[in-house]
Structure 1
Amino acid sequence: MKIVMVGSGYVGLVSGACLADFGHDVVCIDKDAGKIERLHQGIMPIYEPGLAELVASNVKAGRLSFSTDLSSAIDGAQAIFIAVGTPSRRGDGHADLTYVYAVAQEVAENLKTPAVVVTKSTVPVGTGDEVERIIRDSGTATQFAVVSNPEFLREGAAIGDFKRPDRIVIGAEDEWARSVMSEVYRPLFLNKAPILFTSRRSSELIKYAANAFLATKITFINEMADLCEKVGGDVQDVARGIGLDGRIGSKFLHAGPGYGGSCFPKDTLALLKTAEDYNSPVRIVEAVVHVNDSRKRAMGRKVIEALGGDARGKRIALLGLTFKPNTDDMRDAPSIAIVQALQDAGADVVAYDPEGMEIAAPMLPNVTMAKGTYDAVAGADAVVLVTEWDAFRGIDLDRVGQLARGKVLVDLRNVFNPAEVRAAGFTYSSVGRP
């Protein structure tokens, strides 16, 4: 099957490479000529474990290619995926659909053979209706259908998520579109991945509802962590105790500095805007957004408290900057608000991240980027674990104690054993633990 993937960013490139690995003939399109040229050279625009190797093997096999020319690529394509960005629109938080509609218009002007147009981008309810209108109003005489097929990829584990999904959601309004999409995902039938066929609007809402629910779980356990600190409980025991309940589950119950990344922040805001437009308030999601925003800066205050309430003139080492490990994504990362709070308090911040420093540097212009973990902690009055990269889990605490000026360790991910840290002579502060 010939497939065109419009958008060669995180979702488009991972999806395109995986579909090519299934045996489809995939062309990934992007307007950014520089990005396409780098992809031709084997240079990935993002860090995702295993992606470079997957792309290289499928390019070599002739199943995956890259281009800036959508008009010629869609000739003969049976499925055209729209996987462009839908960032939060300034002012109201609604998803900016400019790129989605621009692709729809270009497809409409060049569609000559029957094809299913698939919105892979995360889009508000009703977007598929507008994409269909754009193509229909173009006067195209060929058969087409517009389908919603949201992605559920976790950064850092995206390839595994695509190839071994919990579910595949397809919102289609006719049988022909369902049959084409079934053929796209036929290789996954061997894994018995459940395919859920719904209406297009239901599919669009499923994506937002899923992310809002996961964001709610994160925010809930973070508030329980705060309560644990007040009453003397241990949030890890609380999370384990409630997570063993099959109705709740253990995933996304890890207390920390708040959620970030490319999905949860913008998707919760977009869901709020949709609810407002339809006069159907989602108060729980409103609270989640507010609590999460407040929490990030509160983590900066937590570090200051660990220093005795005064950070002026102190050197603070941050280990990790990205919103989660195994990605270079800095979008809405808690580290940004934490750095701002520390700098507002007069602290000097130095940081190290295994993959995110190149992207983080222009976002955090007054932060010193270290060459490694031990370079970052040298001379620090406090060490703060912000992102739980594996490289930080086994650090030599004795060596850190020798290099640092002050023996204060703030663990915002509850990675370390409190007894071991204190035995190494550190004043230790974690999240929701005694």
Structure 2
Amino acid sequence: MKIAIVGSGYVGLVTGGCLADFGHDVTCIDKDEDKIEALERGEIPIYEPGLAELVKANVAAGRLAFTTQLAGAVAAAQVVFIAVGTPSRRGDGHADLRYVRDAAREVAEAVSGFTVVATKSTVPVGTGDEVAQIIATTNPSADVAVVANPEFLREGAAIDDFKRPDRIVVGIEDERARSVISAVYRPLYLNKSPLMFTNRRTAELIKYGANAFLAMKITFINEMADLCEAAGGNVQEVARGMGLDNRIGGKFLHAGPGFGGSCFPKDTLALIKIGQDLGSPMRLVETTVSINEQRKRAMSRKVVAACGGEVRGKTIGVLGLTFKPNTDDMRAAPSLDIIGGLLDQGARIVAYDPYGMAAARGLIDTVEYVSNAYAVADNADALVLVTEWDEFRSLDLARIKTAMKAPVLVDLRNVYSHDEVTRHGFAYFSVGRPAGAGGKSGQSEAAE
């Protein structure tokens, strides 16, 4: 099957690479000539485990191509996926649909014969109707079925998510699209992946509902972590006890510095705006967003407390910058608020991230970026673990302690155990864990 994908960003590249790996003939389209030229050279503009190898293999096999010329690729395609960005609109938080609308107009002018146009981008409810109207207005003779086919990809695990999905949601209004989309995803049938057909508006709401619910789970366990610190409980054991209930499940119950990334922050804001516009306010989501923003900044205060209430003139080492491991995505990363809060308090920041420093440099230029975790610790007054990259899970603590000016470790991801760290002479602070598991907030627990 011939497939065109408008947009060669994160979603477009993963979708294109995986569909090509299924045997389809895929062309990824982007207006950015430099990006397309880089992709043709085999240079991937984002870090996603396995993506570079997937793209290279399918380009070599002749199943995946890149172009800036939309018309030819769309005219030849049986299915066109729109996978352009929908960032938060500056000023009001609504999803900015300008790129979706522009893509719809260009696709309308180029389609030839019956074509399924599928929105992969995360879009507010009713966007599929608008895309259908744009296409009909731009090209009244176009024979097109517009469907909503939202993505459910986790950064850092996107390829596995695409190839082994929990579900594939497809919102249709034209029954002709059912067999076409079924053919696109037929290679997944051996895995018995559920192909769920709904109407378009329901499919669009499923995507927002899923992201908002996961964001609420994260925010809930973070509030439970604060309660655990106040009451002497252990949030990791609370989360495990909750997660063993099949009605709840253990995923997204890991206490930390708050959620970030390209999806949850913008999608929760967009859902809030959708609810307000339709007179059906999403009060739980509104509260989730407010708590999450406060939490990220509160983590800098946690670091200040660990340093005795004062960080002016002190060197704070930061391990991990991206919003999660296995990605180079710095969008809405908690590290930005944590570092910003510490800089406001007069601290000097030294940081390291395996893949995020190039993006971080464009966002914070007052930080010293170094080449490894041990350089971060050099002469530092405190070390803060913000992103739980694998390479931070088994650091040589004796070496770290020797390098530091003061052996203070603030573990915002609960990677280490209290006994292990304090045995090496550190004052240890973690999130939502009592003495013997982590450090109580604001209380130093150095080994005797």
Pick the TM interval, shorter chain. Answer: over 0.9
CA displacement 1:383-409 (0-9 Å, x = unmatched) = 000000001001000000000111000
Any residues of structure 2 matched to 1:196-207 within 5 Å, and which? 196-207=196-207
Q: Which residue of 2 aligns with 1:74?
A: 74
Q: Which residue of 2 aligns with 1:385?
A: 385
CA displacement 1:152-208 (0-9 Å, x = unmatched) = 000000000000000000000122111110010000011100011000000000000
Q: Which residue of 1 aligns with 2:116?
A: 116
Q: Do structure 1's residue 209 and structure 2's residue 209 form an aligned pair?
A: yes
Give the drift of 1:91: 1.0
Maintained 8 Å contact 1:111/1:140: no
Maintained 8 Å contact 2:136/2:142: no
Quote the Cα distance in structure 2 between the aligned partners of 1:118 and 1:386: 37
Maintained 8 Å contact 1:83/1:120: yes
Aligned Cα root-mean-square deviation (Å): 0.6
Q: Which residue of 1 aligns with 2:362?
A: 362
Maintained 8 Å contact 1:318/1:351: yes
Quote the Cα distance in structure 1 between the aligned partners of 2:108 and 2:142: 10
Q: Which residue of 1 aligns with 2:342?
A: 342
TM-score (norm 1): 0.99
Give the drift of 1:138: 2.0
Q: Do structure 1's residue 48 and structure 2's residue 48 form an aligned pair?
A: yes
Q: Aligned residues: percent identity? A: 66
Q: Do structure 1's residue 419 and structure 2's residue 413 form an aligned pair?
A: no
Q: Which residue of 2 aligns with 1:168?
A: 168
Maintained 8 Å contact 1:112/1:140: no
Give the drift of 1:420: 0.6
Q: Which residue of 2 aligns with 1:139?
A: 139
Q: Which residue of 1 aligns with 2:374?
A: 374
Quote the Cα distance in structure 2 between the aligned partners of 1:175 and 1:214: 32
CA displacement 1:340-367 (0-9 Å, x = unmatched) = 1101111000000000000101211100
Give the drift of 1:76: 2.3
Q: Which residue of 1 aligns with 2:60?
A: 60
CA displacement 1:190-238 (0-9 Å, x = unmatched) = 1100011000000000000000000000000000000000010000010
Give unmatched runs, 5+ long, in structure 1. none
Q: Which residue of 2 aligns with 1:188?
A: 188
Quote the Cα distance in structure 2 between the aligned partners of 1:99 and 1:281: 27
Give unmatched runs, 5+ long, in structure 2. 435-448
Amino acid at match of 1:335: S
Amino acid at match of 1:197: F
Quote the Cα distance in structure 2 between the aligned partners of 1:33 and 1:201: 34
- Secondary structure of 1:118's counterpart equals strand
CA displacement 1:270-302 (0-9 Å, x = unmatched) = 000000000001110000000000000000000
Q: Which residue of 2 aligns with 1:289?
A: 289
Give the drift of 1:106: 0.5
Give the drift of 1:75: 1.6
- Secondary structure of 1:162's counterpart equals helix
Quote the Cα distance in structure 2 between the aligned partners of 1:142 and 1:272: 35
CA displacement 1:95-138 (0-9 Å, x = unmatched) = 00000000000011122221000000000000000100011112
Maintained 8 Å contact 1:311/1:347: yes
TM-score (norm 2): 0.96
Quote the Cα distance in structure 1 between the aligned partners of 2:367 and 2:114: 53
Quote the Cα distance in structure 1 between the aligned partners of 2:30 and 2:396: 44
Maintained 8 Å contact 1:76/1:113: no
Instruction: Report the more deviating stretch, 252-261 or 138-147.
Output: 138-147
Q: Which residue of 1 aligns with 2:250?
A: 250
- Secondary structure of 2:202's counterpart equals helix
Maintained 8 Å contact 1:255/1:431: yes
Maintained 8 Å contact 2:135/2:142: no
Maintained 8 Å contact 1:317/1:351: yes
Amino acid at match of 1:177: A
Quote the Cα distance in structure 1 between the aligned partners of 2:356 and 2:48: 12
CA displacement 1:235-283 (0-9 Å, x = unmatched) = 0010001110111000000000000000000000000000000000111
Maintained 8 Å contact 2:88/2:266: yes
Q: Which residue of 2 aligns with 1:3?
A: 3
